[in-house]
Structure 1
Amino acid sequence: MPEFEDENLSGSRFHRVDLSGAHFRDVNLYRVVMRGVELGDADISGDITGLTLNGVDVAPLVDAELDRRDPDRAQMRPADATGFRAAYDLLERRWDETVARARRLDPALLHESVDDEWSFVETLRHLVFVTDSWVRRAILGEPAPWHPLALPWDTMPEYPGVPWDRDARPSLDAVLDLVRDRRATVRTVLGGLTEESLAADTAAPDGPGWPPPRSFPVRECLLILLNEEYQHRLYAERDLAVLETR
């Protein structure tokens, strides 16, 4: 079967094309229009901010259902500084439960991928990268805050000084030490957060890296942190359920 990787197919037109059984990963589907589609037994997950099916905008319906299934999910959209602190406290408690679940497995399984997703240890390494990028670099202004074990997302462009070691196999405890250190930094930032500082913009960090050297709303940086922590814990729980059967 043909494979398309790092291809720009924007603006392409597909007529009478059989895509049954196709797999899409890390794809940009903004403003895609589909007509005469036969869709059944499909599984779609990702950042879906607008989706109209047969004339119905279903994205708000999906959001409402996800909030119903997990009432704590709404806390990941806090309105004020107190809400951000409460949301992060909740995430820490939930991650502690997930880590306790992971510890019951053979440590070797924590380096195994499920369906080509990150392993459990790689997931934690990615969250170190998120904190380094959006808190230490974007909010605190550190030009190159990344630990060598911090793991960017797979399709990130290369930036000088940003680590990208997919072959590293650190122990769970070694990575958890990093996670605890980053959490302490986040708690310090959130502890000093006021409504004024939450509404402010960051100063552009020096030098190349991620995020780009420009200003961002502080609120946006912290929302990205909450979303990454929340979503990747769900992914980790999903994959741990598979690993528990091995």
Structure 2
Amino acid sequence: MVPEDVKVFVDKDLREARFNRSTLAGAVMRGVDVDGLHIDAPWLAEGTLLVNGVDVVPLVEAELDRRFPGRDLRQAGEPADLRAGWAAAERAWAAAVDRVLAMPEGAVDVSIDGEWSFAQTLRHLVFAADAWLGKAILRLPQPFHPLGQSHVEYETDGFDMSVFATEQPTFEVVLRVRAERQAMVRDFLATVTPDLLAESRPSAWWPEHIVSVRRCLHVILNEEWQHLRFALRDLDAQG
């Protein structure tokens, strides 16, 4: 029996409906027409998704790893594997940058369905490196570059993030700052040791939550691969 507080939809037409930043966790769909259904769930690997009784998460993850060589190392545990994973991410992003530069002028600033543009995505990856390497791991006194693009306005631990997203730099400047942050991660990984990976740090945004240096690097790598997929998806939409 379905609990009384559960929302039930029977014989409803939800064709073309859009759900953004919503939760359907635990939802049950039976006898539904899902032809053309498009699900984009960045955290899919952390749970299950049953289709006709089959958990399709491993299938989706395997296909994404096939499409993005090196993505399977985003949760690597050893220094050499993390270095290889980062090198793969850099190569993949270099190809994406070459692609967008070959597109018509202004392609880097096009937003599809309200998502970040290509330039904004690179700025967010600057922010991610600053948060999880500069702040969480290295504990730099001022880890953030003003070009970094965050999801929301932060003001935490004395770092006022509210003005960062107001900057409108040229794409050349974005590429330069992005390259600097890529080099920062690369240089750190070049000498990281298993002992250092196991060290504890306060999480970038929740200092009461203690995580390992390895986990901080995993966040950075996850950000790289997730946003690459988003960026390529939106470049495809531009034609």
Between the aligned partners of 2:193 and 2:108, the Cα distance in structure 1 is 38
**Cα-Cα RMSD:** 2.3
Equivalent residue runs for 1:1-246 within 5 Å: 13-16=7-10, 17-46=12-41, 47-48=43-44, 49-142=47-140, 144-153=142-151, 156=152, 158-160=154-156, 161-163=160-162, 165-202=164-201, 204=202, 210-214=204-208, 215-243=210-238, 245=239
Equivalent position SS for 1:40: coil
Between 184-193 and 129-138, report the one with greater CA deviation.
184-193
Task: Give how far 1:29 is off.
Answer: 2.9
For 2:30 and 2:237, how far apart are their aligned partners in 1? 36
Q: Conserved in 2, the CA contact under 8 Å of 1:147 and 1:163?
A: no
**Cα-to-partner distance string for 1:57-110 (whole Å, 9 max, x where unaligned):** 111122223233444332323231110011111111221221122222344221
* Aligned-partner Cα distance in 2 for 1:137–1:223: 15
The AA in structure 2 aligned to 1:199 is: A
Task: Quickly say closer, same or farther: Cα 1:157–1:33, change in 2 above 3 A.
Answer: farther
**Conservation of the 8 A alpha-carbon contact between 2:108 and 2:118:** yes
Query: Is 1:127–1:229's contact at 8 Å kept on the other side of the alignment?
Result: yes
In 2, the alpha carbon distance for the partners of 1:226 and 1:95 equals 12
Aligned residues: 227
Question: How far apart, in 1, do the equivalents of 2:69 and 2:108 lie?
Answer: 29
> Which one has the bigger strand percentage?
2
Structure 1's consecutive aligned runs of 4 or more residues displaced over 6 angstroms after TM superposition are: none
Q: Which moved more, 1:103-112 or 1:177-186?
A: 103-112
For structure 1, the residue ranges without an aligned partner over 5 or more in a row are 1-10
TM-score by length of 2: 0.84
Distance 2:144 2:162 in 1: 7
- What SS does the aligned partner of 1:216 have? strand
Q: Residue type of the partner of 2:234? A: D
For residue 8 of structure 2, what is the amino acid of its counterpart? F
In structure 2, the residue corresponding to 1:230 is in which secondary structure?
A: helix
